[in-house]
Amino acid sequence: MRNQGLGSWPARRARKTPQRTATIHQDRRQTYAQLNERVTRLAHALRELGVRRGDRVAYLGPNHPSFLETLFAAGLLGGVFVPLNTRLAGPEIAFQLADSGASALVYGPSHAELVDGGARAASVRAHVALAGPRPGAHGYEDLLAGAAAEPIDEPVALDETCMIMYTSGTTGRPKGAALTHGNITWNAINVLVDHDLLADEVALVSAPLFHTAGLNMLTLPVLLKGGCCVLVPGFDADGTLDLIERHRVTFMFGVPTMFRQVARSPRWAAADLSSVRLLTCGGAPVPPSLIAAYAERGLTFLQGYGMTEAAPGTLFLDAGHATAKAGSAGVPHFFSDVRVVGPDLTEVAPGETGEVIVSGPHVMPGYWGLPEETAAVFTDGWFHTGDAARIDEDGYAYIVDRMKDMIISGGENVSPAEIEKAVLADPDVLDCAVIGVPDPTWGEVGRAVVVARPGSGLTERRVLDGLAGRMAKYKIPKSVVFADELPRNAAGKVLKSVLRGTYGDR
């Protein structure tokens, strides 16, 4: 095959294990042969709609086989896949479509009203609706039914862009990490090596596919190995236990909030978890109490650390060290290199704190359309994560802080700068800073510290209501406190450490 990228994966897997089950969705099974045929038909259909090499194809909808079909079909044509976060508001979706220059958008029925209501971009020439056809949109299944099934072998190299995954940034503007086919392939190889994946793996995919972990750390490595992915549109604690028992699930990824809800289910104590072999957790540190609850059921968490820009696996803590190195993010993945450095980029001594920088074939070449921002985060091929860590005498890394002040709420990255900009749009807000505060359910949620115009009568409810519909619900702070002024240093930068000390536990 001339296609070395992800678009060739269905055909390569179909010629090895055509009758093995690739996906299960609502008890509907799809073999690798069927997946390959549908991907090929969709690629022909997208080509008929004008999609060409390098064109961006966006997808908006919950976990569904069509997500993977669209990803692989775009790769088959040498196109670029753009997964969109289903939790975003209309203006946020429209920005990412315009920023990526997406020429086609495939969307699910859950987001039809949002797309029809204005979440569009001038660049999008073709709209494809899963529950179509709709006004102005082609029907997904109709396109496949009328498309050719002849193989497509467009030459695609590993260094070509495969997908653009948007990640929140401290500037408040989402940046598209341009991941190559090679980045994602090498990340999948790292997972295969360090997780010891088996060909008969059954993965429960309840984490959203538009997130790098759900897609690149779980789904794609399992499909590369020839396992089966059970796709569900959303997470439900009791439903998780049902699916584990029904499909004999062996592998699951989640954020701590998801695993905590499962452990709190009334069915937890009696549920049959004997098939489960791998539980990987990311997005936030796993609390010791949660580790203990799963240990009582004979299950061990495999934890790690990564970021969208690294596709995402960077550090990994194996089961053999889960107790001895509790709290650690582990050591670098097999094909990954990590250093913890000081301001002069020399490595800090064991026990000292420095910035995490990473290099490897899984690290993106840069941000989509942002050469200056790309240059700012790379030094001699090393990506600056902006996160602080220390390394112990054995080489295990411990993430101790987030230099970027990012809030991680339920596994979602939330940019304080983005929220601050939206709050400051109210003329009665003179100043605003957003900090993260502990939350028993989501781990961390936002709190806005607001300086109001004197005599304005500004209230917490008015501030929060002013954000509704303008951004995803998970980004909206859960509380607002008012201050006379914000503490700043000599350069005018808000001292968020002071704010956290003053308002963080109120």
| Enclosing H/E stretch for 221 | helix 220-225
Residue 317 in tokens? 């803590």
Determine contact, residues 453/462, Cβ cutoff 8 Å.
Answer: no
Residue 429 burial by Cβ neighbours in a 10 Å radius (0-12, 13-18, 19+) = buried
For 22, residues 6+ apart whose C-beta sits below 8 A from its C-beta are 13, 30, 31, 32, 34, 35, 223, 228, 229
Q: What is the per-residue pLDDT across 190-218, written as a single tens digit (0 to 9) for each?
A: 999 999 999 999 999 999 999 999 999 99
State the pLDDT at residue 190.
98
Residue 128 in tokens? 């494809």
Q: What is the per-residue pLDDT across 243-287, written as a single tens digit (0 to 9) for each?
A: 999 999 999 999 888 998 999 999 999 999 999 999 999 877 777
Q: What is the per-residue pLDDT across 457-495, written as a single tens digit (0 to 9) for each?
A: 999 999 999 999 999 999 999 999 999 999 986 556 688
What single-letter DSSP state applies at residue 117? T
Q: What is the per-residue pLDDT across 366-385, written as a single tens digit (0 to 9) for each?
A: 999 999 999 999 999 999 99
Q: Which of 198, 206, 192, 223 is nearest to 22 (CA)?
A: 223
- The predicted model gives 404-425 an average pLDDT of 83
Give the whole-angstrom CA distance, residue 262 versus residue 264: 5
pLDDT at 116 over 70: yes
Q: Which residues pair with 449 in a beta bridge?
A: 433, 481
pLDDT at 345 over 50: yes
Q: From start to end of 228-312, where are the E strands?
A: 228-231, 251-254, 278-281, 301-306
State the pLDDT at residue 112.
92
Q: Which of 291, 269, 273, 293 is nearest to 281 (CA)?
A: 291
Give the 3-state secondary structure of residue 11.
helix
Q: Verify cis geometry, omega within 30 degrees of 0, for the bond prior to 416.
A: no
Determine contact, residues 343/325, Cβ cutoff 8 Å.
Answer: no
pLDDT at 170 over 50: no
Residue 167 in tokens? 């990640």
Determine contact, residues 176/368, Cβ cutoff 8 Å.
Answer: yes
Domains of the chain plus CATH, in order, are 6-22+29-157 (3.40.50.12780), 186-402 (3.40.50.12780), 407-503 (3.30.300.30)
Q: Which residues pair with 434 in a beta bridge?
A: 448
Q: How far is CA 500 from the centre of its chain?
A: 27
Furthest-apart CA atoms within the chain: distance in Å: 72
Question: Between the CA of residue 383 and those of 329, 352, 357, 361, what are the distances in Å?
Answer: 18, 20, 5, 12
State the pLDDT at residue 489.
64
In this structure, which amino acid lies at residue 438?
A: P
| Enclosing H/E stretch for 420 | helix 416-423
Give the whole-angstrom CA distance, residue 250 versus residue 218: 12
Tokens 């990590």 belong to: 338
Range with the lowest mean pLDDT among 24-38, 142-156, 285-299? 285-299
pLDDT at 322 over 90: no
What single-letter DSSP state applies at residue 217? I
Under the banding of pLDDT at 50, 70 and 90, the label for residue 240 is very high
DSSP, residue by residue, 120-174: --TT--EEEETT--BTTBEEHHHHHHTS--------B-TTSEEEEEEE--TTSS-
pLDDT at 169 over 60: no
State the pLDDT at residue 120.
75
Range with the lowest mean pLDDT among 73-87, 228-242, 296-310, 481-495? 481-495
- The predicted model gives 446-453 an average pLDDT of 95
Q: What is the per-residue pLDDT across 38-79, written as a single tens digit (0 to 9) for each?
A: 999 999 999 999 999 999 999 999 999 999 999 999 999 999
Determine contact, residues 467/446, Cβ cutoff 8 Å.
Answer: no
- The number of helix segments (H) and strand segments (E) in the chain equals 16, 27
Please give the share of the chain, as a percent, with pLDDT higher than 70. Answer: 97
pLDDT at 288 over 80: no
